[in-house]
Amino acid sequence: MLIRQGNCGQIDNGVGFGVQYGGVLGYQLSYTQSQNKYRASVGLIGASLGYDYYLSDTFSMGATYTISGRNVSSLNINYVPSGYTNNGWIFGIDLARIDGQSAGGSSFFLRKEKKSKNIIFFSAGYKF
C-alpha cells in the first residue's frame, strides 16, 4: 500500500481596500500553501485575482489583475507584520497599469477616450 503525504494549505478570509481587494472595499478569499498564496477578491467596484510569493515570513511579491470600469494589472509588494501564517494586518504597494478605453457609445451615453496610464496604489486589509 502506498501512502502519500501531502502539504495541506491554509484557507483565509480577509477584508480591505485597494486593487488587491477588488477596489474601494472588498472581501478576499485566499489559499496559501508553502510560500505560495492564491487569492480572489470581490469589491464594491470590481473583482480581482492574484498571486503572491512569500520571500520571508513578513514580505511577499506578487501580481494582481482587477476587473472594474477599467482593467488594472499590477505588481505588488506586501508587508505582513504578524507573519503570513497568522491572522493580522496586510499592507501593500501596487505598481499598476490602468488599461485605456476607446471612445464609443451614442448620443447621451457617449464615452470619452481614456489613455492607459501607470499609477501607484496602496492596499491594506485584515486577514482572519
CA distance 96 to 125: 18
- Of residues 78 and 100, more confidence is placed in 78
Residue 98 CB contacts under 8 Å (≥ 6 apart), including other chains: 70, 71, 72, 116, 117, 118, 119
pLDDT value, residue 4:
41
Helix, strand, coil percent content, the chain, rounded in steps of 5: 5, 60, 35
C-alpha cell at 64: 494582481
Q: Residue 99: what pLDDT?
A: 81
pLDDT, tens only, 106-119? 556 655 667 888 98
Quick: pLDDT tens for 44-78.
989 999 999 999 999 999 999 999 878 899 999 99
- Is 19 in a helix, a strand, or coil? helix
